[in-house]
């Protein structure tokens, strides 16, 4: 069995630990030389990967870049020297050859990971946003289809949104000026008025949410409180884990509450913006019990004082919900959130140990169902005249409780603004690495959903909203 620890694509392990923009600072590319598309194709194939898994290596005909594809997420590899590439964290990936001088695998530290299948075909949709069939290759708006999933659709012309701007946005995405955007949806005045997909994505395809999962954990915490499974958000978290012998168990740690986890103010030495943090996720993912690992961390400050972006906090919350409800997190979500919203197509394997090193316990949903979640919060917890989450919890969740990385923060929701033509528009955001964005625009009576694949790099999601969606409201 291969070791769990490997450095080949370490950045992918950090897939939902990103901060408010969903990005991790990256070093500048070091490119010793270039390779042609045909030369890059020599490295293509299905390879072994960590945890007895697999990954694909593919050469893009669109931008002449070699990519590692892990769970449909693409990570670029930069040529360094013969048979050596650097990944997005500047680590070397070295390929080796067989006696016939053909690529046979790659090295990662002391691991030898073999090529399993060279004859892998990669569809054109993997590289190109969308083929258009009309002669001018121009986008033409269509009203989203009504599919009896609980969302009501309408034509964008019935709203204040600027159709010309939306057309311009679409044309630029299709032309590749905004790469790796997977979907764009807009709900205005309760109706789904804009719905577009790109590459291999469509309305039925599940998409990883990365750190946007945290806002779903927040919702389930509120439901558990509403239903009395959790008595109070002021309960201390250690009271839920009597089976653990806690390390660094100071009086300060004993005072950490459920609310401190929700506001990312646990005080534990766990901060994604600090590479020296004892509780960084690369260390946590190697352990057999992520909850215990996080609880054992030393205290960096008193609970409730400083906001620090720590993915261990919602991991602990998820386990508290499971203990309080005596259900798995997925089962509790299905019964109390997904079923009421008519969400049937999803995946959520919440298993906080090293078996989840690639998925990090995140939820997978369709873009339409992500939009439903945003609309639920816009409507103060009401769906089809049913109060799914209490109005008070929704209001408390979106209210400023702390400041994390310079941005106002609620209960695992970002409270931020985007500026369009000098006007600030405030939103509440569930967001994750790669460009996963569920934004609730209370004052505009609008929800926007954008998904993408710009992992560990700058996502164009916010720029799309600022340039092509929000300016329409300046005309009021």
Domains plus CATH for the chain? 10-126 (no CATH), 207-475 (3.40.710.10)
Q: Does residue 199 contact residue 128 with C-beta atoms inside 8 Å?
A: yes
For residue 286, what pLDDT is reported? 86
Helix axes 213-226, 312-325, angle to 10 degrees: 30
Q: Does residue 169 contact residue 209 with C-beta atoms inside 8 Å?
A: no
Q: Does residue 9 contact residue 68 with C-beta atoms inside 8 Å?
A: yes
CB atoms within 10 A of CB 102: 10
Nearest alpha-carbon partner for 311 in 248, 347, 356: 356
**Residue whose token pair is 């008519």:** 342
Cα radius of gyration rounded to whole Å, the chain: 23
- How is the beta sheet containing 402-404 ordered, strand by strand? 152-153, 191-197, 181-188, 446-452, 436-441, 423-432, 414-420, 407-409, 402-404
> Hey, which residues does 386 pair with through a beta bridge?
383
Q: Does residue 165 contact residue 472 with C-beta atoms inside 8 Å?
A: yes
CB burial readout 145-180, b (16+ within 10 A) else e: eeeebebeebebeebebbeeebeebbebbbeeebbb
Nearest alpha-carbon partner for 336 in 380, 390, 378, 374: 390
Nearest alpha-carbon partner for 66 in 9, 24, 117, 22: 9
Whole-angstrom distance, CA of residue 346 vs CA of residue 409: 27
Q: Is 426 exposed, middle or buried (0-12, 13-18, 19+ CB in 10 A)?
A: middle
Nearest alpha-carbon partner for 206 in 402, 359, 37: 359
- How would DSSP label each residue in 105-154? EEEETTEEEEEEES-----GGGT-S----STT------PPPP-SSS-EE-
Predicted TM-score (pTM) of the model is 0.92
Instruction: Render each residue's pLDDT in the chain as its tens digit; 476 residues.
Output: 333 333 333 333 333 334 444 444 444 444 467 999 999 999 999 999 987 889 999 999 999 999 999 888 899 999 999 999 998 888 899 999 999 999 999 997 778 999 999 999 999 999 999 876 655 678 999 999 999 999 999 999 999 999 999 999 999 999 999 999 999 999 999 999 999 999 999 999 999 999 999 999 999 999 999 999 999 999 999 999 999 999 999 999 999 999 999 999 999 999 998 888 999 888 898 899 999 999 999 999 999 999 999 999 999 999 999 999 999 999 999 999 999 999 999 999 999 999 998 889 999 999 999 999 999 999 999 999 999 999 999 999 999 999 999 999 999 999 999 999 999 999 999 999 999 999 999 999 999 999 999 988 889 999 999 999 999 999 65
33, 267, 448 from 6: Cα distances, Å: 26, 30, 37
Q: Does residue 30 contact residue 78 with C-beta atoms inside 8 Å?
A: yes
Two tokens at 127?
Answer: 């590289």
């Amino acid at each position: 069995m291969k070791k769990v620890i490997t450095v080949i694509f370490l950045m992918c392990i950090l897939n939902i630990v990103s901060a408010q923009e969903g990005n991790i600072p990256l070093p500048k590319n070091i490119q010793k030389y270039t390779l042609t598309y045909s030369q890059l194709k020599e490295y293509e194939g299905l390879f072994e990967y960590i945890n007895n898994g697999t990954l694909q290596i593919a050469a893009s005909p669109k931008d002449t870049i070699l990519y590692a594809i892990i769970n449909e997420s693409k990570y670029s590899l930069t040529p360094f020297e013969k048979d050596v590439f650097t990944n997005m964290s500047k680590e070397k990936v070295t390929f080796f050859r067989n006696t016939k001088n053909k690529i046979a695998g790659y090295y990662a530290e002391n691991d030898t990971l073999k090529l399993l299948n060279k004859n892998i075909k990669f569809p054109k949709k993997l590289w190109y946003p969308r083929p258009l069939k009309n002669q001018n290759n121009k986008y033409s708006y269509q009203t989203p289809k009504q599919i009896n999933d609980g969302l009501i659709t309408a034509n964008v012309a019935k709203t204040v949104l600027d159709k010309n701007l939306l057309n311009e946005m679409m044309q630029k995405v299709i032309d590749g000026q905004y790469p790796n955007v997977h979907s764009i949806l807009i709900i205005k005045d309760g109706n789904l008025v804009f719905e577009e997909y790109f590459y291999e994505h469509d309305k039925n395809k599940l998409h990883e949410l990365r750190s946007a999962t945290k806002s779903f954990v927040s919702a389930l915490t509120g439901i558990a409180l509403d239903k009395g499974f959790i008595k109070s958000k002021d309960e201390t978290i250690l009271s839920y884990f009597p089976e653990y012998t806690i390390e660094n168990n100071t009086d300060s740690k004993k005072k950490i509450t459920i609310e401190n986890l929700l506001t990312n103010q646990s005080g534990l030495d766990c901060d994604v913006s600090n590479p020296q943090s004892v509780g960084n996720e690369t260390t946590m993912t190697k352990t057999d019990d992520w909850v215990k690992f996080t609880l054992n961390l030393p205290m960096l400050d008193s609970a409730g004082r400083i906001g620090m972006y720590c993915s261990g906090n919602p991991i602990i919350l998820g386990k508290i919900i499971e203990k309080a409800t005596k259900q798995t997190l997925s089962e509790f979500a299905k019964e109390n959130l997904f079923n009421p919203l008519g969400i049937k197509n999803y995946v959520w394997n919440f298993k906080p140990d090293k078996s989840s090193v690639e998925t990090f316990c995140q939820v997978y949903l369709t873009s339409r169902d992500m939009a439903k979640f945003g609309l639920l919060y816009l409507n103060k917890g009401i769906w089809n005249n049913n109060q799914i989450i209490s109005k008070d919890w929704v209001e408390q969740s979106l209210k400023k409780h702390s400041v994390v990385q310079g941005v106002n923060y609620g209960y695992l929701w970002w409270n931020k603004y985007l500026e369009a033509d000098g006007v600030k528009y405030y939103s509440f955001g569930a967001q994750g690495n790669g460009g996963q964005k569920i934004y609730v625009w209370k004052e505009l009576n609008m929800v926007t959903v954008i998904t993408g694949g710009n992992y560990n790099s700058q996502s164009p999601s916010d720029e799309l909203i600022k340039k092509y969606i929000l300016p329409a409201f300046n005309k009021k």
